[in-house]
Structure 1
Amino acid sequence: MELTKIRNELSVKGKNGIGFLLSAVVIWSIITIIFLLPLGTYQKNIYMLFTTGLMFPLSIGMSTLVRADWRLQGNQLGDLGLFLNLAQVIYFPILFWGIARSPTEAIMFFAIITGAHFFPYGWFYNAKPFYVMAPIISLAIMFLGFYLNGESLWLIPLSMIILLLVLIVWLITDYKRKAEEI
């Protein structure tokens, strides 16, 4: 029972990571714009990678804006959130392979990696929306990727924005319920 209490405290203090997810919406919005530009696929993929460099500073700003404690100091599991986020980097060789060998699918690989990496946050924040949306995002993007051609790749980042917004709304509801309980 103590562990559940710690996880619920993380959920409320960190507001379920909503600051980071809002940053992801901004980044995927920029990526959508990049994929609408009349550039080559390789250039789009490189710009997509550069855009990810905005994640951490933007997340700090968004977390401040929504008054979420992104550092989660004073909680025994606080550092675990950082490790869970860094775990996504381990999947980047798949993305780099995609850029080199299958450039039109690289955006799909990146979106699937992003969606899948949300799954452990279900445990971390004791939040079912992560458990549900991680596989939904990954599978939805995979099926979308099967049907797209090189000209309509912008639909993948646009779909990510929509799916992230669904996740955010659901997490806000989860956060409010827990905040009332605590």
Structure 2
Amino acid sequence: MDLSMLKKELSVKCKNGVAFLLSASVVWGIMLLIVLSNFEINTKNSLILWSTALLFPLAMVFSKIFKAQWKIDDNPLSILGFYLNIAQLIYYPIVVWALIKRPEEMIIFLGIITSAHLFPYGWYYSTKIYMVMSVFMSVTILFVALRLTLKTLWIIPTLMIVFLILLVILLYKDYKRKEKS
């Protein structure tokens, strides 16, 4: 099988990773509730970081619901998906720095990192949707964040939810097109 066929197989069998994106939407929904809560900022940030641990288990649930594989053992590119997911964890020291030095802005750092880490999935699943949305999401969060106050930080998780759901819709349509071809 050539490279383009391996990538198409990933795109179709994994349904462009929509299970992980839906999981992320739920996690960002939890983060929105935390941001809107009456906890003090350090407690909110700790809860936000802990909520990210739900991503993988929720993705497994969504994978079962959508009958999407999250890995394909006989596809040599499959392990790359794992590494791309782990790459986001390597950016967490930036989030921890923000937690310590700029706690009121930590959610912004997390939003930009989450958005930016989606970029290589465009190559992985052979769809420019990830690339375009990754850049759009990161830049939009940056520009919106420049105008935010502590009372309006809820806008960041709200944007992330909207962006992720839009991404799911676009990627699902892309998957359906590929499935038919």
Query: Normalised by the size of structure 2, how large is the TM-score?
Result: 0.98
Between the aligned partners of 1:71 and 1:114, the Cα distance in structure 2 is 21
Q: Does 1:93 align with 2:93?
A: yes
Deviation at 1:19, TM superposition (A): 0.3
Please list, as runs of the form range in 1=range in 2, the aligned pairs for 1:109-120 lying within 5 A after superposition. Answer: 109-120=109-120
Q: Secondary structure at the match of 1:147?
A: coil
Let me know the Cα RMSD of the aligned residues.
0.9
Deviation at 1:40, TM superposition (A): 1.0
Deviation at 1:155, TM superposition (A): 0.8
Between the aligned partners of 1:173 and 1:11, the Cα distance in structure 2 is 11
Deviation at 1:91, TM superposition (A): 0.6
| 4+ aligned runs moved over 3 Å, structure 1 | none
Between the aligned partners of 2:40 and 2:47, the Cα distance in structure 1 is 11
Sequence identity of aligned pairs in percent? 44
Between the aligned partners of 2:98 and 2:72, the Cα distance in structure 1 is 35
Please list, as runs of the form range in 1=range in 2, the aligned pairs for 1:65-104 lying within 5 A after superposition. Answer: 65-104=65-104
Deviation at 1:21, TM superposition (A): 0.4
Q: Which amino acid aligns with 2:74?
A: G
Residue segments in structure 1 that go unaligned for 5+ positions in a row: none
Deviation at 1:44, TM superposition (A): 0.7
Deviation at 1:85, TM superposition (A): 0.4
Between the aligned partners of 1:63 and 1:119, the Cα distance in structure 2 is 21
| 1:6 matched residue in structure 2 | 6
Residue segments in structure 2 that go unaligned for 5+ positions in a row: none
| 1:15 matched residue in structure 2 | 15
